[in-house]
Structure 1
């Protein structure tokens, strides 16, 4: 991929033309919304100013890496190329966006954020500390801030101008337990973890709580737990001795997700499990690392009937994906990476939302779901009190869409 290199000082793009009505695939739930949202002034404009804070880090990076999809700059260049493809699509739909691109990780960030004062929406940055500053800036200046790369409950509070497009960690756990319980009985499901890691114990406790809530009874630990001895994964003859259920499917839930902290453990766990299970039928639920790790190959995906919880998935057989792939190749003489699809979907989603709902579009994002190339956006309000539905208590907005990917006919398929 050879996208145009971004200017160090940023660049502006102006999209021209307009139409009255645009149609695309979405599920409209506007009529179900409460009276408060109906009374909002939409503040629609003929064009909107977008500040895009991209983490290029050009000042400290070899710019030859722009064509290497494995590097940070290469990934972000692909993302930006997808954004530019989306801007072209939006222009065709008559949506006018003036986009100012800034390198959030070169130069002084305080200077960059002040350049966003006239923006109608700010997208990025990726750094969590910079994101906290940006979210607060958006709240003070009544500018929606979109976080396409990071999510977390502690980034910003009491902030109805902050939108997280990445689904949270607990949402992944909840989706996994709901899906597993919908297909298997509790006595078939085993939570895996390390009793030497506090995070693993926290994950197990949360998932047990989800299962207990679904059961609506007094059993606070409805699922089995198994603590893996890491030494046995490398040195021992057996790590899962006698845990497999005979004549039934044994369902394992592996919640570890971090490449830095968990990749070796996750790989060694599934490798050892595959070797020990024999002829017993096994299903393994897990996080995106099961698909994204280069160590875990298709033989493990297939042998362990893996089901992976993921917020995005590119179906290479989709007609829309094939058309995008061809258009991308025509533009850049290369094939799009996952980051290119993500950048495209994000920009199309935000552009269409602003066109429909104006400067306060974030309040309307939970009135419809929109399907794009690699994900769906199901944005919901997050409240300080889960029982509340009062605009005063909005903490932020969060995408809650997740797929369960199942391995079928030697390929992954996205299930709801």
Structure 2
């Protein structure tokens, strides 16, 4: 086997030296020993046919050298690339001399010959018999070399099903899937194997974190991306269309689409998915995985407690970490390589105030919010910004229920009119009811509402066109753009479903940070480059020039049958 004969431990070179030791044949001065040693010397010098003749004469003799003679006959045949003959000789050693003390060397050589002949199942069955720790490194090299040469995905999947505990086989399959397949079932298989065995390129649990970090920081020509989402693979049911974690699957599918786009630009990213739910203990287990330690970019986790564990580890090890959905700036405090893909609630409040000022309205405002904590937090932050800017907040209430009940709670009227109204809600039923409540109170001032208060598919266009209404819309997608239309068509062709906004988010996030890794290196040090807008992105882009949270906060207005950005 060429790779080992030239670069690593030879398949038989070291074994030749070991088996030469007198302790394996105490017949000093005996003619058989002299013949045996001469035959081994012939093998060492490449005179294989002559060596075979000498060794064959020793096979029928009842002496302690017989198993060695069979073995070196197999060595000679192997070096002549007569792998069938080599295996036949080794089988005879194994069958005739079951107590031979060097039997595991015979297993290894047999497996090498079987690998060369493409008989992988046969090879693996013999490798599985090896328990000698000193051979473990050679077995790993043998497996990695041959499994890495298999290009038939079906064959590799079948092998992995037959030998599910073999790590090298699992990693070879992950690598082949990542390079060649876009099939959903294949990607899910890759995710499961990655969760269990790590990522290709690692050597297992014995490798230190420092060694992995050194390897990761080299210019590899590719970047490893770890995606830490609650995939809940154990609960996966292909027949269920509505899943509680569908958003995570959509995000991941968008990331995969961006991976293909980056590859077309000459940027290679290897995406490895880890199934991580709201479990801090599993997060602590994950950060000890040498495969995970090779990550250049981490996307997730999506829950607070595991996020703390992973963010700390990523910061200590120089990994870029992106929170795809979080809006809390606390997550990036004192973490120079942690980023929010979304603008924080503080940033949304700042941008809303800046927009209100651009309208030139007077300084009386009313603020309302829905039932979630996020709703009340954003309303509180906006109130603070208004008061700091000299505005008067004449009413601030939590609203729920029907339009009538909302109107009954509000303390505004034609006599106590605000100059603008702000409403934050995460319930897509609240928006239309809130507008109806304002109409009941005959309030015509400009209104700013979070887009999450509306169901964009259920609410008619008249909902948005009857008054001076602006939507605070971080996830705004302009569906009239050709780039968006092309993406939807490509995604529909690949997944047979229409992409969700989470798909768009996953795509944009991976595309932006993948380009930044290629441009800036793993630590993304040049702050001036951390901005991207325009036709390349499906949403509104990213801007991290001044902080580690996205400072682009779209505010839109309905005009001529569609929403357009006004800020």
TM, length-normalised to structure 2: 0.55
Give the corresponding residue for 2:560.
409
Give the corresponding residue for 1:59.
234
How far 1:319 moved relative to its partner? 1.1
Q: Please, which runs of 5 or more residues in structure 2 have no aligned partner?
A: 1-181, 201-216
Give the corresponding residue for 1:4.
184
Q: Kindly tell me: are residues 379 and 242 of structure 1, through their superposed partners in 2, closer, same or farther at Cα, counting changes over 3 Å?
A: closer
How far 1:169 moved relative to its partner? 0.8
Give the corresponding residue for 2:4.
none
Q: 1:200-245: CA deviations, max 9, x gaps?
A: 887566434434555xxxx4x4454354776895459855576247
Q: Flag the structure with larger Rg.
A: 2
Structure-to-structure mapping, 1:189-338, within 5 angstroms: 189-193=364-368, 206-211=381-386, 213-214=388-389, 219=390, 221-227=391-397, 233-234=403-404, 243-244=413-414, 250-254=419-423, 256-259=424-427, 268-277=433-442, 281-292=444-455, 297-338=460-501
| Higher strand proportion | 1
Q: Please, which runs of 5 or more residues in structure 1 have no aligned partner?
A: 15-41, 383-396
90-99 or 43-52: which moved more?
A: 43-52
CA distance in structure 1 between the partners assigned to 2:225 and 2:377 by the alignment: 39
Give the corresponding residue for 2:283.
109
CA distance in structure 1 between the partners assigned to 2:401 and 2:262 by the alignment: 54
Give the corresponding residue for 2:543.
378
Give the corresponding residue for 1:387.
none
Pick one of 153, 170, 187 that aligns with 2:346: 170
The count of residues paired between Structure 1 and Structure 2 equals 357
Give the corresponding residue for 1:94.
266
Q: Is the 8 A contact 1:267 1:295 kept in 2?
A: no
Calculate the aligned-residue CA RMSD, in Å: 3.6
Give the corresponding residue for 2:243.
71
Q: Is the 8 A contact 1:3 1:77 kept in 2?
A: no
Q: Is the 8 A contact 2:247 2:502 kept in 1?
A: yes
Q: Which has the higher contact order (CA 8 A, sep 6+)?
A: 1
How far 1:250 moved relative to its partner? 4.7
Q: Is the 8 A contact 1:353 1:365 kept in 2?
A: no
Structure-to-structure mapping, 1:349-364, within 5 angstroms: 349-361=512-524, 363-364=525-526
Give the corresponding residue for 1:85.
257
Give the corresponding residue for 1:184.
360
Paired residue secondary structure (1:405): strand
CA distance in structure 2 between the partners assigned to 1:288 and 1:369 by the alignment: 24
| Higher helix proportion | 2
Q: Is the 8 A contact 1:320 1:373 kept in 2?
A: yes
Q: Kindly tell me: are residues 198 and 128 of structure 1, through their superposed partners in 2, closer, same or farther at Cα, counting changes over 3 Å?
A: closer
Q: Is the 8 A contact 2:543 2:552 kept in 1?
A: yes
Q: 1:224-275: CA deviations, max 9, x gaps?
A: 43547768954598555762479x9952111x2344xxx6665543332234
Give the corresponding residue for 1:47.
222
CA distance in structure 2 between the partners assigned to 1:250 and 1:169 by the alignment: 23
Structure-to-structure mapping, 1:98-177, within 5 angstroms: 98-105=270-277, 108-115=282-289, 116-155=292-331, 157-177=333-353
